[in-house]
Amino acid sequence: MKTGIPLEEAQTLLLNFTHPVTECQVSLTSAVGRILSQDVRTGINLPPFDKSPLDGYALQAKDTELANSSNPVTLEVIEEVQAGYMPKKQVTPGTVTKVMTGAPIPNGADVIVKFEDVKRAGNKVELYYPLKAGNDIIRAGEDLRQGEVIAKRGTVLTPPLVGLLAAIGVDEIPVFSKTRIAILSTGDEVIDPAEELRPGKIYNSNQHFLSAYCSQLGAAPVAMGIVPDEKEAIVERLTQALDLADLVITTGGVSVGDYDIVPAAFKEIGADIIFRKIDMKPGSPMIAASYNNKLIIGLSGNPAAAYITFDLIVVPLIKIMLGLDQKMPPKILAILKDSFNKSSTQRRFLRAKVQTINNTNYIELTGAQSNGVLKSMVACNALIDVPAGSGPLVAGQEVSAVMVGSGSELFI
Ligand SMILES: Nc1nc2c(c(=O)[nH]1)N[C@H]1C(S)=C(S)[C@@H](COP(=O)(O)OP(=O)(O)OC[C@H]3O[C@@H](n4cnc5c(N)ncnc54)[C@H](O)[C@@H]3O)O[C@H]1N2
Ligand code: MOO
């Protein structure tokens, strides 16, 4: 078992333990937010046929060559075609077909003129200006060509993509299965938000932000509730969690206190400890283990510590399991807008918000940085990466940061 390892080593070790997820099919109505497990090609041209963008008349442009306002050209209406129906007659010199918006272009016609620009009298129309062949015709395949890849494996299905799939007649979509993530909160002091607050107790925020984050990523959180600081109780709930989920996350009980018995529970079920403790602040007491090819991650109970280690270490794993393309959070350089007065003996991550103005990134702290403070996660979209051995940070200096966060923007 490794201990006190750098963040990057923890990330790499766990990536090696992360397995690809299985695939399934979903309908169009439940496709949004899911991730494509295969490239999708269109089997048809879109639109499938040449069609009219206007309510008007389909004709041959050369018939209008000599038309002007004092000498209009008169043509004969031979047919009317509604959208959804095929023309039966060929447009020949001297004839027009009345077409509605979306109707197929009749054979022989090479231009459309709209109703407002002609005068209709009986079965004749008068045209007052020359038309250009090819104008106002939507061509088959103008949007998509048959055989073209419309979206690649690993793409998140957004509303326009769902529309595009429908437009090409795909109603069963190959997607990655939703990774099931069990979340188990430990601690005698932790109670459900629905309960009345009692002395010495705190509400379970970890369970809820972790579940919400998993849902936002497109995974399926499995709520395993709260277990007291008793090894047997944790062992029992962990065993259930491993049955129900692909990945198990616990919070609390990983430090060195008398009741920090989560690592002992991991060992008791026979899990192999991959590492214990990482060299960063907050979140250092984190532990990771594997059991029957499934990862069990024990995060610190302190909400911000749990959030930050989840963001930096667990979210990339979930992205792999979900089948997403981009896994690791992007890194940036930014100018610090305010100061941070503490020195950092250990590598430290600070909750911050980055904004880009005229191609320069500016970053400011989002509030108090203690490991229990959740409020400063709310506006956080980046974590400033402060190297071990740094002195206080001063406004105007350049810092490196990692883009993270489920708050304002998702980096997927
Ligand atoms: N002697 C030492 N004590 C501590 C050390 C240390 O190195 N030596 N490390 C400190 C650090 S750093 C952290 S982080 C915490 C980690 O503690 P645990 O992971 O064992 O977590 P707990 O003690 O169970 O809880 C910590 C804190 O968070 C609250 N909490 C727990 N669960 C939840 C929840 N589901 N929702 C909201 N808040 C929760 C809990 O009440 C505690 O206040 O250890 C330090 N101690
Ligand atoms: O390492 Mo603790 O996790 O500072 O918050």
Give the other-Cβ count within 10 Å of 145's Cβ.
12
Rg (the chain; Cα; Å): 31
More confident site: 347 or 19: 347
Segment 185-233, tens digit of pLDDT: 999 999 999 999 999 999 999 999 999 999 999 999 999 999 999 999 9
Task: Answer yes or no: is pLDDT of 126 > 70.
Answer: yes
pLDDT of residue 223: 97
Task: Answer yes or no: is pLDDT of 407 > 70.
Answer: no
Domains of the chain: 2-22+177-322 (3.40.980.10), 25-43+153-176 (3.90.105.10), 56-127 (2.170.190.11), 331-403 (2.40.340.10)
Say if ligand 2 is within 6 A of residue 344 CB. no
Say if ligand 2 is within 6 A of residue 87 CB. no
Ligand closest to 187 (CA) is: 1
Of all atoms in ligand 1, which is nearest to the CA of residue 300?
19
Instruction: Band the pLDDT of 258: cuts 50, 70, 90.
Output: confident
Mean pLDDT of 318-340: 90
pLDDT of residue 326: 66
In single-letter form, the type of residue at position 82 comes to Q
For residue 262, how far is its CA from the centre of ligand 1 (angstroms)?
A: 12
More confident site: 193 or 255: 193
Give bridge partners of residue 125 from the DSSP assignment.
75, 120
Helix (H) / strand (E) containing 80: strand 73-81
- Pocket test of ligand 1: the residue of 206, 254, 297, 300 to mutate, having most ligand atoms within 8 Å of its CB, is 300
Of all atoms in ligand 2, which is nearest to the CA of residue 286?
3
Ligand closest to 252 (CA) is: 1
Say if ligand 1 is within 6 A of residue 188 CB. no
Question: Exposed, middle or buried: residue 146 (CB in 10 Å: 0-12, 13-18, 19+)?
Answer: middle
Q: At what angle do helices 7-16 and 315-322 cross, to 10 degrees?
A: 20
Say if ligand 2 is within 6 A of residue 305 CB. yes
Of all atoms in ligand 2, which is nearest to the CA of residue 309?
3
Question: Exposed, middle or buried: residue 199 (CB in 10 Å: 0-12, 13-18, 19+)?
Answer: exposed
**What rounded mean pLDDT belongs to the chain?**
94
Say if ligand 2 is within 6 A of residue 283 CB. yes
pLDDT of residue 406: 59
Of all atoms in ligand 1, which is nearest to the CA of residue 298?
19
Segment 341-393, tens digit of pLDDT: 999 999 999 999 999 999 999 999 999 999 889 899 999 999 999 999 999 99
Mean pLDDT of 94-109: 98
Segment 289-318, tens digit of pLDDT: 999 999 999 999 999 999 999 999 999 999
- Pocket test of ligand 1: the residue of 255, 280, 344 to mutate, having most ligand atoms within 8 Å of its CB, is 255
More confident site: 132 or 324: 132
Closest C-alpha to ligand 1, atom 2: 256
Distance of CA 308 to the CA centre of its chain: 19
Give the other-Cβ count within 10 Å of 367's Cβ.
16
- Decide: 279 and 3 in contact? Cβ < 8 Å: no
In single-letter form, the type of residue at position 249 comes to I
Say if ligand 2 is within 6 A of residue 371 CB. yes
Angle formed at CA 215 by CA 209 and CA 216, multiple of 5 degrees: 85
- pTM exceeds 0.80 for this model: yes
- Decide: 95 and 79 in contact? Cβ < 8 Å: no
Closest C-alpha to ligand 2, atom 5: 282
Give bridge partners of residue 22 from the DSSP assignment.
none
